[in-house]
Amino acid sequence: MIDKQVTSLADAMAGITDGSVVLVGGFGQVGHPMALIDALIEQGAKDLTIVCNNAGVGRSGLPRLMKLGRVRKIVCSYPRTAAVFSELYAAGQLELEITPQGTLAERIRAGGAGIGGFYTRTGAGTLLAQGKETRSIDGKDYVFETPLRGDVALIEAWEADRFGNLTYRGSGRNFNPVMVTAAALSIVQVQRVVEAGTIVPEAVVTPGLFVNRVVEVPYAPPFAAIEY
């Protein structure tokens, strides 16, 4: 019987190695897998590259992982959400790859969909296009962007079944359904695991084939877990 549920957060983290590229879902705290990040802190992997829209909020979660010196590089669109990021970056202790938000989403989608790279108008003629290949298409400037994949994706969803089918709540979807497609190992924190067949086939947002592990984490609204 297919069953992707693991029973502990420690089991969910099994096999994550030093130097991994880790895709982390969420927009601000909504859809951000706080329990999985805490478990990753516990697990110990270091020299990580974190791909996440923001650099976390407050002092727990990603800021704590960074503060512990476990993050080598961060790829994001808007890191200026955590004081810890700004301190470490200013001190030269953290590499930063800043990417426009839409380009970040599209690069991750490309990584998951087998696209070798694509041209976008976003960023053309700006600092963020420096050093990148550009091309004029129908008289407009485009920048070539490469796909982005992770060794691991840490995802938050609302419900899952044993096949790994996922639904999301409210604006908690954001990067999660994109990132879950683009990692060798996709680990999902859900509010509840439901019986197979409970999620209507039309209502599945992420088909289970993109998911490797599901861990049920007791109900917690997005802002409950933050330590400021």
Partner 1 sequence: MRAAADRMVGPELAARKLIAGRVARDIPEGWNVNLGIGIPTLVADLVPEGREVMFQSENGILGMGPAPEGEVDPWLVNAGKQNVTLRPGASLFDHALSFAMIRGGHIDLCVLGALEVSERGDLANWSTSSNDTAPAVGGAMDLAVGAKRIWIAMDHTTKQGASKLVEQCSYPLTAAGCVKRIYTNLATIDVTERGFEVIELIGGTTFETVQTHTAAKLHRGKGLV
Alpha-carbon dihedral 162, 168, 169, 174, rounded to 10 degrees:
150
Q: Considering beta carbons, is residue 71 or 199 the nearer one to a copy of itself?
A: 199
- Nearest-angstrom CA–CA distance, 181 and 164: 12
Q: Are 60 and 39 in contact (CB under 8 A)?
A: no
Residues of this chain, 67-106, that bind partner 1 according to CB under 8 A: 77-80, 85-86, 89-90, 96, 98-103, 105-106
Examine residue 138 and tell whether it contacts partner 1 (CB under 8 A): no
Q: Considering beta carbons, is residue 7 or 202 the nearer one to partner 1?
A: 202
Q: Considering beta carbons, is residue 8 or 171 the nearer one to a copy of itself?
A: 171
Q: Considering beta carbons, is residue 45 or 155 the nearer one to partner 1?
A: 155
CB of 159 to a copy of itself, least distance (A): 11
Examine residue 128 and tell whether it contacts a copy of itself (CB under 8 A): no
Question: Which of these ranges, 12-20, 105-113, 191-199, 209-217, lies near a copy of itself under the rule CB under 8 A?
Answer: 105-113
- Nearest-angstrom CA–CA distance, 156 and 197: 21
CA–centroid distance for 156 within its chain: 9
CA distance readout (Å), 142 to 98, 105, 156: 18, 17, 33
- Nearest-angstrom CA–CA distance, 179 and 67: 24
Residue numbers at the binding site for a copy of itself (CB under 8 A) = 106, 110, 113-121, 135, 137, 140, 142, 167-170, 202-203, 205
